Amino acid sequence: MSIDISTLRNDTPACADLIHFNNAGAALAPLAVTEAVLTHLANEQRLGGYEAANLAEGQINNFYDAFAQLLACEVSEIAYAENATHAWNSLFNAIPFAAGDIILTGQSEYASNFLALLHMAKRQGVKIDVIPNDHTGIIDLEQLEAAINPRVKLIALTHTPSQSGVIHPAAKVGELARAHNILYLLDACQSAGQIDLNVDELGCDMLTGTGRKYLRGPRGTGFLYMRRSSMSKLEPACVDLHSANWISANTYEFRDDARRFENWECYVAGKIGLGVAVDYALKIGMPAIESRVGELGAALRETLGTIAGVNVHEHGEPLSGIVTFSKKGIAAASLQEGLRAKGMNTSVARLASNQLDLVKRGLGDINRASIHYYNTHEEIERFCQMVAKF
């Protein structure tokens, strides 16, 4: 399926004014998403919050249908979350850990996730076993398999790291998890929206993500997937009148679907907007998006690699739309600021948030340019010309 870049860029007005290579931070939302959010906010102002929600019931429920199609799962396995960290923590803290249980995770694990692991180790006495990456930068599957024993309760993996463009072999990790009957929690924060995801092929029991990144949804939105067959193994740490039914004065029971991890109160306009964002991606086609992002990412790495003094930090296959690099003689933050002054948005992957991966790789703060399907080869050329000038 081909992508009509001209139409997609017209749907993204800021493309006319800047080069946005910070899609792994927050992508530019399509007009349809912004309009959906603003329309609902206007209805809340005009009608009242509850009344506007009643009017938008179909649009709200579309969130579940859209994500079920995106992830190839059942509608009952999808829940809304205020953000990806809340989604991840809701699932993680529902696992009944005991002292001596082992959690296997990777060198590339996201900072907030690893902090939660450390906190669980402090509270419950679990052990964290960090599996190193191999020479290509992906999790070492041989060492992961060797680390599995009867005390392993969870495998937690970040699919596509925030600080690197590698794509970890999530499906192969899923095969190991299933073979040993181990719960598997996959962070798809950076992969949802740029990689075609199928939870059965990935083999994960749980998957979480955000709206604001490659899905091009509103900020302050997220989602989670909970496999129905694994739901009985978890009990939510928090409860409210939406996640559970109050049966009698002293009894209650949780919902029998993934919405047991939701709260009654949520950002309704954002939830509607995120559903629209997923519909927008599905209309383009996730295989086409994945191909386009991979092509542009490869072009950006290749062109950056020709610039004197620039070191691109990921190699091999497959790689995502996240490209990290450093330029000799200029601090990452200074280069980011200089590029922003020229209308070019990027980010910095900071050592303080990557105490495992960047330390292991001997890197400090590094620049991160993350492209999306609405970016162009001409933008890549202009961007790299500007990097060369600093």
pLDDT for residue 298 is more than 60? yes
Q: What's the one-letter identity of residue 29? A: A
87 vs 189, 207, 242, CA distance in Å? Answer: 10, 9, 16
Q: Which residue carries 């709260």 as its tokens?
A: 263
pLDDT at position 352: 94
pLDDT tens string 338-348: 999 999 999 99
Is the pLDDT confidence value at 101 over 70?
Answer: yes
Is pLDDT at 1 greater than 90 in this prediction? no
To 10 degrees, the CA torsion angle through 348, 345, 297, 364?
-10
Average pLDDT over residues 375-380: 98
Average pLDDT of the residues of the chain = 97
Nearest to 88 by CA among 109, 112, 62: 112
- For 123-176, the pLDDT digits (tens) are 999 999 999 999 999 999 999 999 999 999 999 999 999 999 999 999 999 999
Handedness of CA 279, 256, 185, 85 (dihedral sign): positive
The pLDDT of residue 315 is above 90:
no
In this predicted model, what pLDDT tens digit does every residue of 227-272 receive, in sequence order?
999 999 999 999 999 999 999 999 999 999 999 999 999 999 999 9
Q: What is the mean pLDDT of residues 266-294?
A: 98
Angle (CA) 30 214 324, round 5°:
130
Q: Indicate the SS3 state at residue 326.
A: strand
Helix, strand, coil percent content, the chain, rounded in steps of 5 = 45, 20, 35
pTM over 0.95: yes
pLDDT tens digits along 31-40: 999 999 999 9
Q: Report, as an integer, the average pLDDT of 307-319.
A: 94
With vertex at residue 279, the alpha carbon angle to CA 276 and CA 285, rounded to the nearest 5 degrees, is 150
Name the 3-class secondary structure at 264: coil
Question: What is the per-residue pLDDT for 317?
Answer: 86
Question: Quick check: 380 and 304 in contact, CB under 8 A?
Answer: no
Percent of the chain's residues with pLDDT above 90: 98
pLDDT in tens, 207-238: 999 999 999 999 999 999 999 999 999 999 99
Per residue in 359-377, pLDDT (tens digit) is 999 999 999 999 999 999 9
Asked if 140 and 134 count as a contact pair (C-beta separation under 8 A), the reply is yes
Domains and CATH numbers, the chain: 5-28+285-389 (3.90.1150.10), 32-283 (3.40.640.10)
Q: What is the pLDDT of residues 54-65, one digit of tens each?
A: 999 999 999 999
pLDDT for residue 2: 76
pLDDT category of residue 316 using cuts at 50, 70 and 90: confident
Q: Using CB atoms within 10 Å of the CB of residue 154, give its burial: 0 to 12 exposed, 13 to 18 middle, 19+ buried.
A: buried
